[in-house]
Structure 1
Amino acid sequence: MPDIAPAEIADSPLATRRRALAVLCITDARAKAAAARALYTDLQAHGGTVTDVDEILVAEGSAAIPGRPERPELVPPQQVDRRRSLHTLAGRAVMIHALCHIEFNAINLALDAVWRFAGMPEAYYRDWLRVADEEALHFTLLADHLATLGATYGDYPAHNSLWEMTDRTSGDVLARMALVPRTLEARGLDASPPVRAKLAEVGDTAAAEIIDIILRDEVGHVAIGNHWYRWLCAQRGLDPIATYARLAEQYRAPKLRGPFNLEARRAAGFDEDELAWLEASAG
């Protein structure tokens, strides 16, 4: 599917799920963020249903997705530069670039959750379109701040782990909810406070304030993943904890390690049994 300008998507009569696919296929990062925000704004302004058009989506979804720019270069996680000091401008640029890349991929995974999975309740699609809108805001805030550090998104290599799990779980919405929002994204709840503290320590107040916004919103995003994971488990008559353990092994999810931000995870809907299991199974 070729790139479609954000204005064309906003004016499109296509069903919302097909429009989400069109935004997912945009290759320009800033244009994608703008289009994701416009799509959610339009849905909020005009209401209506998120219509299924699965026979069209199957054909159009066979295109290479997600759309992404030629840069950053994607490398294995161990090759991503993490050694630069945040006391230097270059070191902060590398850190903000890494966060930018996470948020860019988060836009993609939210849009993919909308177009790919048919037959979910209307609220499911609206939830994930809101997530796409907020992830697009995060990306834009970080990309703008990166510019003040003399860099642009794409300037440094990045890894693709978040999207790889998104792609790996493309055949089952239950696995997607289990292993992307409430596993990989939930890691951000644990990582954000120490990252924020480091940025504040070196005097980058603007970046620290952006992290505050991201953490606030990510609690809601993980809560959405928890809600729909539990809904799907109930629909299928599955135990959430046992099912999560099975899916994590089946899809080779990364083993989570503490310390965990238990306050944020509770706010995001993890119950005490899940948290106890998480801490007991952590490496």
Structure 2
Amino acid sequence: MQAPTTVPLAPCQPGREFLPVCAACARRWTLHALCLELPGTEVDSTHALQARVVEGEGARIDPRGSPTVVEGALLPGRSKRPPLIAPLEVPHRSLFTPEGLAALVHFICHIELNAIKQIAKAIRIF
């Protein structure tokens, strides 16, 4: 049996050094993916986790422990939020315009991102 490799992932707390994460521990991978703030790094981390699971390296969950977040770190899955705009202040866009189509795609992307985060939370917890 091959020893698990370590892969550097972004830390939960900005300004911290990268932490090595055991590739065989899906809980740690998902915890770090949930703690990332930038959407691009969240996507990269999720793709890396998917690749590990497909290769059979990240499918095992270590039942001996639960990973913890560094004190003062962001809550997993809770990135900084942009200011909310009241629904009446959002301009109405037709789906037949480029702006309206872009708004629809943006909305669907939010739904998909939330679904991915829910799956990652379930992996981390269970």
Which residue of structure 1 lines up, in the alignment, with residue 53 of structure 2?
A: 43
Q: 1:64 aligns with which of 75, 85, 89?
A: 75
Number of aligned pairs?
109
* Contact 2:21/2:28 (<8 A) preserved: no
Root-mean-square deviation (CA, aligned residues, Å) is: 3.2
Aligned AA (1:84): R
SS in 1 for 2:22: coil
Q: Deviations over 1:206-236 (max 9, x none)?
A: xxxxxxxxxxxxxxxxxxxxxxxxxxxxxxx
Larger radius of gyration: 1
Identical amino acids, percent of aligned pairs: 22
How big is the shift at 1:81?
Answer: 4.0
Structure 1: which 5+ residue stretches go unaligned? 118-283
Higher helix share: 1
Distance (Å, rounded) in 1 between the aligned partners of 2:84 and 2:76? 15
Q: CA deviation at 1:97?
A: 1.2
**1:75–1:22 CA distance, 2 compared to 1 (3 A):** farther
Counterparts of 1:21-170 in structure 2 under 5 Å? Answer: 21-47=31-57, 49-54=60-65, 56-57=66-67, 59-60=68-69, 63-68=74-79, 70-71=81-82, 73-74=83-84, 78=87, 81=90, 83-117=92-126
User: Aligned in 2, Cα 1:92/1:51: closer, same or farther, shift over 3 Å?
Assistant: same
1:12 aligns with 2:21: yes
Q: Give the TM-score of the pair, scaled to structure 1.
A: 0.33
Taking CA–CA contacts closer than 8 Å with sequence separation of 6 or more, which of the two structures ends up with the larger relative contact order?
Answer: 2
Q: Normalization by structure 2: what TM-score?
A: 0.66
The structure with the greater share of residues assigned to strand is 2
